Structure 1
């Protein structure tokens, strides 16, 4: 999945000569927590709600017309922020978020701002990829880390005519020679498919109840 598929293209921006009060008004009006600072269509900085909190220590000690509210955006913004491209992979951008500990990133093409991506956008994309937003059941199966095993497990779902909404694969933390397959399936009663998986010799990690293990 590419960044251009999930980024926001309607981006609320700031200028470096605007004030902290302008930032507060923009954030409140559009219910946002981040905004890129743009000059001549080029991104020169980022302002976040954290920057606002640092710029205005307390509403109880500073009047609405106090000096902190008159500060320029250029004084509180993070200059030269990390950026990404519309054709970058979403998983690579997720790594950038993690490594740089950021909550948003401008999307730039040909040195011009074309979109904006936040941690909320990434989180919702993860929800979509896992199928968690659709009614269904989750089944986790531990398998050997070898070629063809995903096909073998998937064949059981096919034989039971169960629609698979999503599949995730991650390493088993207890055994480096094994993987865990996480299936999101379109059924509210997975007992039959779990029984068939076990008959085929597969280890079902979840769901696991005394009744299912009998």
Structure 2
């Protein structure tokens, strides 16, 4: 999945000469947490968060607080330089930036111009779609040897039961490089026939691992 498919293109920006008070107003009115700071050609030169603005505000405990700080230019508190991503970057890859840098949003830049924003909310929504948890389905986890062809073998078992696969994820099996965990979300609320088929094929079921065959 590409960044351009999930980014918000309706981005509110400010020039570096805007005041902190202007930023505060935009943050409140639009219920957003970040504002990119751009030059006239929409080149991103910084970013300001709601936390940056709060930290720059005079204390509310001081009745006669000097509010001149709010008239300072936004460039005095913006974060720079700014890490950006490209609209053709893969969402799965930029997730590492969010994790490692602990970012809440990243500007999307093409030809040095701002074209969109990706936020934590966009990333979480994408993760929900990738894992298939947004549709009614059942989850099956299978321990398999790490060898070519094992994924289609297990997928064929599901296909033989005429059940759609909503999503497939592959995880390491602890620290053991000889095995992987295949996580399927299948579009059925009765996965028992599939579970039976997986067991009969000799694969170890990790989840659900407490379902026994009904006694006849």
2:52 aligned residue? 51
3-state SS, counterpart of residue 133 of structure 1: coil
Q: Supply the distance in 2 between the matched residues of 1:143 and 1:166 (Cα, whole angstroms).
A: 17
Q: Supply the distance in 1 between the matched residues of 2:32 and 2:167 (Cα, whole angstroms).
A: 31
1:115 aligned residue? 116
Aligned-pair distance for 1:192? Answer: 2.0
- Aligned runs of 1:124-203 on 2, under 5 Å? 124-203=125-204
Q: Is the 8 A contact 1:15 1:37 kept in 2?
A: yes
Distance 1:116 1:198, change over 3 A: same
Give the TM-score, by structure 2 length.
0.91
Distance 1:213 1:37, change over 3 A: farther
Q: Is the 8 A contact 2:37 2:46 kept in 1?
A: yes
Deviations 1:115-170 (A, max 9, x none): 11112111111110111111111111110000000010001001111110000111
Aligned-pair distance for 1:78? Answer: 0.4
3-state SS, counterpart of residue 208 of structure 1: coil
Distance 1:129 1:206, change over 3 A: same
Runs of 5+ unmatched residues, structure 1? none
Q: Is the 8 A contact 1:56 1:62 kept in 2?
A: no
3-state SS, counterpart of residue 180 of structure 1: strand
Q: Supply the distance in 1 between the matched residues of 2:64 and 2:188 (Cα, whole angstroms).
A: 58
3-state SS, counterpart of residue 198 of structure 1: helix
1:5 aligned residue? 5
Number of equivalenced pairs: 214
Aligned-pair distance for 1:99? Answer: 2.5
3-state SS, counterpart of residue 48 of structure 2: strand
Aligned-pair distance for 1:208? Answer: 2.2
1:95 aligned residue? 96
Runs of 5+ unmatched residues, structure 2? none
Q: Is the 8 A contact 2:34 2:105 kept in 1?
A: yes
Aligned-pair distance for 1:10? Answer: 0.7
2:72 aligned residue? 71
